[in-house]
Amino acid sequence: MDSSGSSGALEEDRQQAMSQRIRELENELAALKASAADSERPSTSFGATGGAVPRHTDSVVYVQQDRKMPPFSGRLDAVDALSLDEWIEQMRDFSQTRGRTEKERAQIVYDHLEGAARTEIKYLPSTQRERAECIFTVLREVYGCMHTRLSLQRRFYNRKQLDAENIAPRPNPKTIGNACQPGEPDIGGRLW
C-alpha cells in the first residue's frame, strides 16, 4: 500500500469517529432538553390514597460573592468617592445579602470602614457596634454634612456680591469674645 492510500484511510477513520461523537453529543443534548422540559412541568406521583401528590424540586440560588464594596474612610472630598448616603445604601444591600445575623451584618459594615470612620465606630459601646443601623446612624451624625469641603469652598469663591452689599470689613468671629469691644480698635488698629 502506498502512503497516500493509508493517509486517506486515516482521514476517513477520523471523520467517522468525529461524526459518531457528534451523534453521541446530540443524543445527550436531546436527553438533557427532555429532562429539563419534564422538570419544568409539574409532575405528579400517585400516593397511597390514589390521589396525585405534586413532586417538589429544590432550587438553588447563586449569589455572586466577588462584588467589591469601596471602604468608607470619612473623607468626603475625594472626587470619585461615593457620598455617605450612597455608601450607606450600597453597604446596606451588600451586608443584607451576605450577613445572616445582625451581628454579622455589623461586622461586614465595620470591615468596610477605614481611618477616622473606623476609629469612630471602634470606641462605641458593644451594643451599638453590633448593630449595622446604629453604625449607620453614628456615621450620619459625624459625617452627614450635606456639603463637602470642596463644595463649600467652591460656593464661597463663586459667590457674587449683591447690589445692596458693601465691602466693609466684617467682625472676625474668633475675636468676638476678646476684650476688644465694638467701636474700639482691635490689635490691627482697625474698627469693626
Distance, C-alpha 18 to centroid of its chain: 48
Q: What residue spans of the chain are helical by DSSP H? A: 3-40, 84-98, 102-111, 115-122, 126-129, 132-143, 149-158
Q: Which of 40-49, 92-101, 107-116, 171-180 has the highest mean pLDDT?
A: 107-116
Question: Percentage of residues in the chain with pLDDT exceeding 90?
Answer: 24
Is 121 within 8 Å of 135 (Cβ atoms)? yes
Grid look-up 476609629 returns 119
Residue 137: pLDDT over 80: yes
Whether the predicted pLDDT of 174 surpasses 60: no
Residue 82 or 50, more confident: 82
pLDDT tens readout for residues 94-132 = 888 877 899 999 999 999 999 989 999 999 999 999 999
